[in-house]
């Protein structure tokens, strides 16, 4: 089986979340093109509307009317499956007057929120998490103090939560990261008129309101593209172009790793607004070599680690992904899921502490029992690509979860694989 043709992935999920959420702290009206059709971003838009932001869907476009920081308190906001929605809202609501409750589905109720709650308390907010630092989260905000924060993990969600709280504090707020994570929040803050200074891994923001641009366009999702592009690199005879994709370097860690493996990749930059974007071409790459991916690179490949692990299973030699412990606290324990489920297809993966070790190349075979996604979209998607490599379309016990990031994933994959839908 091979992947041949062109694909335009859905609008970028990370950028779409930010457009919606940041509009709560902005004035003006903005027409967004290419907004992500994902269930996660639908959770964000529902939350924005519940909090008093203007959200109108007109065909493919979303029209946002800024709430200028005047948020409607006293309610429980359902963040669904989306960690980004919950962690950004924690920072945002910490600066708003009133009491708010943030909750989510069973998966989100298992994810760590204390890492965000603790620095917000130091800024002066009252934030309570349920047992084990998990949701639901209760926030009584207002009266925030700025300060300096050294993050214990490289997390764009944690960084962004503190920057959004900082916009509402009484003075500057500085956030220092241990390694680079995606920087869409910083870029949008600068574009939307915030006073912000960036210096390497450090970012300082001063209090103030944002101003929405009249129009903005969302490039196609770089993480969604990764599953198809890596699939093309390992499926013999493939030749694929992912079009209009976000080319922010902090989101292209997977492409750099694929290049290091010896992947046949061709990137054509087409534009820079609101972030760099363009086309990514990938061909079947017969001579892939094992690589070592260092701890400082992990934040830039965090959502693509499952598909990179599958790609590593087709490389010659032993690949090592250092310090991928964060994978254990995503929508599922992704480290256990990829080891168990790709292992069920015949791949050779294991964990040594927080490192992931993958030995290749291993031929994959279709399993007798259904594969398990654990309700996690990135796991379901990597298992679909792995299935093609094993020569078929195996049963996966929950595929509906793909809608969390890419509702048309299976249709896109079948079309590129030349299969009837
Ligand atoms: O900021 C973002 O849009 C995201 C950051 C990452 O999470 P962490 O910041 O928790 O690593 C990533 O896994 C998530 O899918 C989206
Ligand atoms: C981890 C993810 O999202 P979130 O943290 O927003 O739930 C993801 O999309 O892979």
Ligand nearest to the CA of 112: 1
Using omega within 30 degrees of 0 as the cis cutoff, is the peptide bond preceding 385 cis?
Answer: no
Specify the DSSP class assigned to residue 139. Answer: E
Residue 29 has pLDDT above 80, yes or no: yes
Task: Find out whether 183 and 248 touch, Cβ atoms under 8 Å.
Answer: yes
Our answer on whether the CB atom of 173 is closer than 6 Å to any ligand 2 atom is no
> Which residues surround ligand 1 with Cβ inside 6 Å?
14, 17, 84, 155-157, 181-182, 302-303, 326
CB of 275 shorter than 6 A to ligand 2: no
What is residue 291's predicted lDDT score, i.e. its pLDDT?
A: 98
Active-site option among 78, 303, 376, 412: 303
Q: pLDDT of 191-248, one tens digit each? A: 999 999 999 999 999 999 999 999 999 999 999 999 999 999 999 999 999 999 999 9
| pTM of the model as a whole | 0.98
What is the chain's length?
421
pLDDT of residue 97 exceeding 90, the answer is no
Q: Rounded to an integer, what distance in angstroms lies between the CA atom of residue 323 and that of residue 319? A: 13
ipTM attached to this prediction = 0.99
Ligand 2 centroid, distance to 13 Cα (angstroms): 9
CA distance 384 to 369: 15
pLDDT category, 59, cuts 50, 70, 90? confident
Task: Give all domains of the chain, ordered by start, each with its CATH number.
Answer: 13-20+34-52+69-204 (3.65.10.10), 220-416 (3.65.10.10)
Q: Binding site for phosphoenolpyruvate: what residues are annotated?
A: 13, 83, 111, 157, 334, 378
Give yes or no: 303 in active site: yes
Residue bearing tokens 């943030």: 102
Phi and psi dihedrals of 34, rounded to 5?
A: 70, 25
Residue of 404, 406, 407 best suited for mutating to test ligand 2, as the one with most atoms within 8 Å of CB: 404
For residues 236 and 228, what is the distance between their CA atoms, to the nearest angstrom?
13
Between the CA of 1 and the centroid of ligand 1 the distance, in Å, is 32
Q: Quick check: 420 pLDDT over 80?
A: no
Ligand 2 atom with least separation from CA of 330? 1
Name the closest-CA residue to atom 3, ligand 1.
Answer: 14
């Amino acid at each position: 089986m091979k992947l041949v043709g062109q694909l335009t992935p859905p609008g970028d999920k990370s950028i779409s979340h930010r457009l919606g959420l940041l509009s709560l702290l902005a004035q003006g009206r903005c027409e967004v093109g290419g907004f992500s059709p994902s269930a996660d971003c639908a959770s964000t838009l529902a939350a924005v509307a519940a909090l008093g932001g203007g959200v109108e869907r007109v065909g493919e476009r979303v029209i946002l009317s800024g709430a200028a920081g005047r948020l409607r308190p006293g309610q429980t906001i359902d963040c669904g499956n989306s960690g980004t929605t919950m962690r950004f809202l924690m920072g945002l609501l910490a600066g708003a007057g009133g009491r708010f409750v943030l909750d989510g589905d069973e998966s989100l109720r298992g994810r760590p929120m204390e890492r965000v709650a603790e620095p917000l308390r130091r800024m002066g907010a009252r934030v309570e998490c349920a047992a084990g630092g998990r949701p639901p989260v209760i926030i009584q905000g207002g009266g925030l103090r700025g300060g300096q924060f050294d993050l214990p993990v490289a997390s764009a969600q944690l960084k962004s939560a503190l920057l959004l709280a900082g916009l509402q504090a009484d003075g500057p707020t500085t956030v220092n990261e241990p390694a680079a994570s995606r920087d869409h929040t910083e870029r949008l803050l600068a574009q939307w008129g915030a006073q912000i200074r960036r210096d390497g891994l450090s970012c300082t923001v001063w209090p103030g309101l944002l101003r929405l641009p009249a129009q903005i366009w969302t490039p196609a999702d770089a993480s969604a593209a990764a599953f198809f592009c890596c699939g093309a690199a390992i499926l013999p005879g493939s030749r694929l172009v992912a079009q209009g994709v976000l080319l922010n370097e902090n989101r292209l860690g997977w492409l750099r790793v694929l290049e290091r493996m010896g992947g046949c990749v061709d990137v054509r930059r087409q534009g820079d607004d609101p972030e760099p974007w363009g086309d990514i071409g990938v061909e079947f790459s017969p001579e892939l070599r094992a690589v070592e991916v260092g701890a400082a690179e992990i934040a830039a490949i965090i959502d693509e680690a499952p598909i990179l692990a599958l790609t590593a299973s087709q490389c010659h030699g032993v690949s090592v992904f250092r310090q991928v412990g964060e994978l254990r606290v995503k929508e599922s324990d992704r480290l256990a899921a990829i080891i168990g489920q790709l292992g069920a297809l015949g791949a050779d993966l294991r964990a040594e502490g927080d490192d992931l070790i993958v030995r290749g190349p291993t031929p994959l075979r279709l399993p007798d029992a259904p594969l398990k996604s654990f309700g996690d979209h990135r796991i379901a998607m990597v298992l679909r690509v792995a299935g093609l490599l094993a020569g078929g379309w195996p049963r996966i016990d929950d595929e509906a979860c793909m809608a969390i990031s890419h509702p048309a994933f299976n249709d896109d994959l079948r079309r590129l694989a030349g299969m009837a839908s």
